[in-house]
A and B are shown apart, each in its own frame.
Chain A
Amino acid sequence: MIMEKIAELFIILILVSVVLNVSSPFIKFAIKLYSFQSLMLAFYILMGAVHFNSINLYGSFVITVIFKVILIPYFLFKTLKKVKIDKEIDMYIGIPEAVVFAGSLTLLSNLIAQKIINTGITFGSFVFTISLATFLIGAMLMVTRKTLFSQIIGFLTIDNAIFLAANSITHGMPLLVELGVLFDLFVSILILSVLILNLRRNVAV
Chain B
Amino acid sequence: MNKLKFKGIYRYFFNCLSILSAAFFTVLSIYGFKNELIIQSSFINFSFKFDALSLFFVIFISSISIFISIFSIKYGEKYDKKPSLFIYSFFFIMSMIILAISNDMLTFLIFWELMSIFSFLLVIYEGGEESRKAGFLYFLMTHIGTILITAGFIMLYLKTSSFSFDSYKGAAGIMILAAAITGFSIKAGIMPFHTWLPYAHPVAPANISAIMSGIMVNMAIYGILKFLFVFSSVPAPFLGIILLVLGALSALLGIMYAMAQKDIKKLLAFSTIENMGIIFMGIGISYWAKAENFKSIEYFAMLAVLLHIINHGLSKSSLFMGSGLIDKYTHTRNMEKLGGLSKKMRQLSVLFLIGIMSISAMPPLNGFLSEWYLYISLIGSVFTGNLYMVYFSIIAIALLSLSGAAAGAAFTKLFGITFLGKPRTVHAENAIEPNIIERIGIAIPVFLCIYIGIYPYQIISNLNAVIFYLTGGTVNSNPFSAVHIISARPFSLYAPALIAIALAAVLLIVFFYLKLFSSDKKRIFETWACGLDEKNSKAQYSGGGFSSSIMKVFSSFYSSVSEINFEKDVKKYFRSQSVYTEEINDIFEKYIYIPAEKLYLKISEIFNKAVNSENINVSLGYLFLSLIVCFIIYIFIIR
Whether A and B are associated in the same complex: the answer reads yes
> Beta-carbon contacts of A86-106 to B below 8 Å, as 1s and 0s?
000000000011000000100
> Which chain A residue shows the least CB distance to B556?
A97
Query: Number of B residues whose C-beta is below 8 Å from A?
Result: 7
Q: Are B556 and A111 in contact (CB under 8 A)?
A: no
Docked pose: A96 CA to B394 CA in angstroms = 19
Say yes or no for B24: interface residue by CB 8 A criterion: no
B591 to chain A, nearest CB (A): 18
- Complex Cα–Cα for A115 and B388 (A): 10
**How extensive is the interface on chain A, given as a class?**
under 10
State how many angstroms separate the Cβ of A97 from the closest Cβ of chain B: 7
- Does A20 touch B at the CB level, under 8 Å? no
Contact in complex: B387, A111 (CB < 8 Å):
yes
Per the 8 Å Cβ criterion, residues 356-394 of B in contact with A are 387-388, 391, 394
Q: Which residues of B contact A97 (CB under 8 A)?
A: 556
- The answer for the CA separation of A110 and B385 in the assembled complex, in Å, is 13
The yes or no answer to B395 lying at the interface (CB within 8 A) is: yes
Question: In the complex, which residues of chain B have a beta carbon less than 8 angstroms from the beta carbon of A114?
Answer: 387
Which residues of the partner chain A approach B556 to less than 8 Å between Cβ atoms? Answer: 97
Q: Judge whether A107 is part of the interface by a CB distance below 8 angstroms.
A: yes
CB-based contact A111/B553 at 8 Å: no
Classify the interface of chain A: helix, strand, loop or mixed: helix
The reply to whether B553 and A107 contact each other, CB–CB distance below 8 Å, is no
B394 touches A107 (CB 8 A): yes
Q: How far is A111 from B387 in the complex, measured between Cα atoms in Å?
A: 7
Q: How far is the CA of A104 from the CA of B398 in the complex (A)?
A: 11
Q: Which residues of B contact A96 (CB under 8 A)?
A: 553
B387 near A107 with CB under 8 A, answer: no
A107 and B556 alpha carbons, distance in the complex (Å)? 22
CB closest residue in chain A, given B388:
A111
Residues of B within 8 A of A107 (CB): 391, 394-395
The answer for the CA separation of A96 and B555 in the assembled complex, in Å, is: 12
A110 to B395, CA, bound (A): 14
Question: A104 to chain B: which residues have CB within 8 Å?
Answer: 395
**Shortest Cβ distance from residue B176 to the other chain A in the assembled complex, whole angstroms:** 31
- Distance in Å from the Cβ of B290 to the closest Cβ of chain A? 23
Residues in A with CB closer than 8 Å to B387 are 111, 114-115
Please, how many angstroms separate the alpha-carbon atoms of A104 and B394 in the complex? 10
Name the residue on B nearest A111 (C-beta).
B391
- Interface residues in A105-163 (C-beta closer than 8 Å to B): 107, 110-111, 114-115
Using an 8 Å CB-CB cutoff, how does the interface string of A60-92 with B read, 1 for contact, 0 for none?
Answer: 000000000000000000000000000000000
* Most chain A CB neighbours (cut-off 10 Å) among B387, B391, B394: B391
- Give bound CA distance, A172 to B529, whole Å: 66
Question: Which residues from 383 to 415 on chain B have a C-beta closer than 8 Å to any C-beta of chain A?
Answer: 387-388, 391, 394-395
Nearest Cβ on chain A to B532's Cβ, whole angstroms: 34
Instruction: Compute how far the CA of A110 lies from the CA of B387 in the bound complex, rounded to whole angstroms.
Output: 10
Residue of B at shortest CB range from A96? Answer: B553
Chain B nearest CB: distance from A113 CB in Å? 11
Tell me the smallest distance from the CB of A101 to a CB of chain B, in Å: 11
Q: Which residues of B contact A111 (CB under 8 A)?
A: 387-388, 391
* Residues from chain B with Cβ under 8 Å of A115 in the complex: 387
Q: How far is the CA of A115 from the CA of B394 in the complex (A)?
A: 18
- Give complex CA distance A115, B387 in Å: 9
Chain B residue with minimal CB distance to A115?
Answer: B387
Complex CA gap A169/B27 in Å reads: 69
Q: Which residues of A contact B394 (CB under 8 A)?
A: 107
> Bound complex: CA of A111 vs CA of B388, how far in Å?
8
Interface residues of B in 57-83 (CB under 8 A from A): none
Bound: A124/B388 CA distance, A: 21
Measured between beta carbons, the chain A residues less than 8 angstroms from B553 are 96
In the complex, chain B residues 554-579 whose Cβ is within 8 Å of any chain A Cβ: 556
| B-binding residues in A (CB < 8 A) | 96-97, 104, 107, 110-111, 114-115
Question: Could you pull out 11 A-B pairs where Cβ atoms are within 8 angstroms?
Answer: A96-B553, A97-B556, A104-B395, A107-B391, A107-B394, A107-B395, A110-B391, A111-B388, A111-B391, A114-B387, A115-B387
Q: Which residues of B contact A (CB under 8 A)?
A: 387-388, 391, 394-395, 553, 556
7 tightest A-B CB contacts, nearest first: A107-B391, A111-B391, A114-B387, A96-B553, A107-B394, A97-B556, A111-B387
Query: What 10 additional pairs, Cβ within 8 angstroms, besides A96-B553, A115-B387?
Result: A97-B556, A104-B395, A107-B391, A107-B394, A107-B395, A110-B391, A111-B387, A111-B388, A111-B391, A114-B387
